[in-house]
Amino acid sequence: MKPNLLYTFFILILFHTGFAQNIRGKIIDSKTGESIPYANIRVNESENLVSNGEGYFTLSESNSQEETMLVVSYLGFVNQQLTVGELKKLDFTIKLIAGIYELDNVAVSNLKPNPYEIMANVKANLSRNYTTGEKGSKEMFFFRKSNYFNPSIIDVEINESTGFSKQALLKVNNDLQSFSTKLISKPPVSFTDVLCNYYSVKTKKAEKFVFTSKLDVLKATILKNEGESTSLDDLEKTAKNLMLQHLDTTKYYRFKSGLVGSRDTISLRKDFNTKPGKDKEVKNQLTATKINLNSFMYENNFLKNKRFDFIQKPELYDYTYEGTTYTSQNEFAYVLTFKPRKRKAMYVGKLYISETDYAVLRADYVLDDGEKLSNFNMKFLLGIKVSENVSKGTIIYKKRAEDDNYYMQYAATESGNYFYLNRPLKLIELAKGEKDVLALDFKIEANMRNKTEFLNISRSETTAAAIAKVKEEDFKYINIKSYNPKIWKDYNAIEPLQEMKQFKAIN
């Protein structure tokens, strides 16, 4: 190949590569320069993206052309429309201008709206605004789950095991101590990303509505450590292997913890506790994912989940009217902050409420200082303490075009638990004469956190007949060692936070 031809070929490759790269932008407040999380980015009037918790978003390769149109909106700010070409000229930074207006400036009366009257109207319209419609829909979802397990204490010691000598037990206990030390120094973290098409319809049969959903996973990845010292899965396997070493899987046992004994029979046999005559449901990855997805959408429905008592039971909270703002549809929205009034109330936060139909467009909530969703503390008497001490989120709803009801467009939620367990445990074989015995002491103290991000990228109408033809197929996660944006170059997805970008799997 001639040098000039080789040079031209090389330049063309670079040229093509330059235009094939994903576009990464950032959204900030034009006045303060602070990043704006959870802003909506409408792409070519067909798909929705959202800026992450640090204000960043990424466009797929197919949406990175110069002429691609973007409309950026955020409650309290003026909408901004621009092309990708204009975004490049702005150094990939979009500065939104605040557009907050006091209702006093636009209403005839100088009296500020009563926040309790607003909330009474919100409650009265919950069923109308958040009930699932009967029309079928096809939606593209992207959701990310981040799981964290942070142990501060893991002490496990086997005191007695039938058939094991003292020397053998010493080795096992040393191995357990080594495993626990590594687990504490490198706590398990995992990130799973899923992009899918979700089909759903509500049909009436025998005077009852039946909800049907189907899932088509387009791509799914998992980023986690595979080594025994950093994986929750490996921790579970280690515990199971430990039990198998010291117990006979063909025998039956009862357990005793301290002065508390159980008459229940336990066994490690695979067929134990299975009911004859009933087929055991086989749950594949697709089924598990669909169950989790349906549960997440149910749990974050303002109408159905009792956690949203600051919406469902306004009598429990104090509300303050903060003003009004324009929505992305150029309509007014009331802005209310809330805090507990009565003992049962636990959350503080902010609500954005449509002036037109009193739908909650956005809710930001977090547990008030010192509050816990649940708490069981018998640390000194039984050596057990468990509490659900983290619950917070941002949830954004958007109106459906076909029936004026609302669907969840974006959600970022976080939950967390603390647990402490310090008890002896003994398993004793159910037999006459000489019995197998396994006795151990264990002390565990840890925090667990789970984060979930959900984005409805696009939605369109479809029919029950079309949904019936959709074939569901199981899938497997793609295991990755570190986050690589090229994995999602053909799709729109939520830009990951720095903690995920910096995470690298350890073999």
pLDDT digits (tens, 9 = 90+) for 307-346: 999 999 999 999 999 998 888 777 889 999 999 999 999 9
**Is 363 a domain residue?**
no
The dihedrals phi and psi of 97, each to the nearest 5 degrees, come to -100, 130
Q: Estimate to the nearest angstrom the gap between the alpha carbon of 486 and the chain centroid.
A: 23
- What's the pLDDT score for residue 216? 96
- What's the pLDDT score for residue 297? 93
The closest of 411, 420, 409, 368 to 391, measured between CA atoms, is 368
Q: Specify the number of domains making up the chain.
A: 2
Residues counted in the chain: 507
* Site of tokens 């049969």: 205
* Domain co-membership, 81 together with 172: no
* Domain co-membership, 86 together with 29: yes
* Domain co-membership, 164 together with 274: yes
* Domain co-membership, 94 together with 140: no
On whether the CB atoms of residues 254 and 261 are closer than 8 A, the answer is: yes
**Is 437 a domain residue?**
yes
* pLDDT band at residue 106 under the 50/70/90 scheme: very low
CATH code for the domain of 66: 2.60.40.1120
Contacts of 375 (CB under 8 A, 6+ apart): 386, 387, 388, 389
Q: Where are the beta strands (DSSP E) in 51-135?
A: 56-59, 69-73, 80-83, 93-96, 100-101
* Domain co-membership, 83 together with 143: no
**Is 106 a domain residue?**
no
Q: Examine the fold and report which residue of 98, 126, 160 is the final residue of a domain before the chain moves on.
A: 98
pLDDT in tens, 399-411: 987 778 899 999 9
* Domain co-membership, 52 together with 147: no
On whether the CB atoms of residues 355 and 332 are closer than 8 A, the answer is: yes
* Domain co-membership, 87 together with 205: no
| DSSP assignment string, 31-72 | TT--B-TT-EEEETTTEEEE--TTSEEEE-GGG-STT-EEEE
* Domain co-membership, 143 together with 267: yes
**Is 6 a domain residue?**
no
Can you tell me the mean pLDDT for 63-85? Answer: 92
* pLDDT band at residue 100 under the 50/70/90 scheme: low
On whether the CB atoms of residues 309 and 367 are closer than 8 A, the answer is: no
**Is 251 a domain residue?**
yes
* Domain co-membership, 176 together with 87: no
pLDDT top residue among 185 and 266: 185
On whether the CB atoms of residues 445 and 420 are closer than 8 A, the answer is: yes
* Domain co-membership, 94 together with 138: no
* Domain co-membership, 185 together with 242: yes
* Domain co-membership, 53 together with 143: no
Alpha carbons 75 and 39: distance in angstroms, whole number: 8
Alpha carbons 343 and 258: distance in angstroms, whole number: 36
Alpha carbons 225 and 186: distance in angstroms, whole number: 10
Q: What range does the domain containing 62 cover?
A: 13-98
**Is 113 a domain residue?**
no
Q: Examine the fold and report which residue of 98, 113, 144 is the final residue of a domain before the chain moves on.
A: 98
**Is 322 a domain residue?**
no
**Is 399 a domain residue?**
no
User: Which amino acid is residue 381, in one-letter code?
Assistant: L
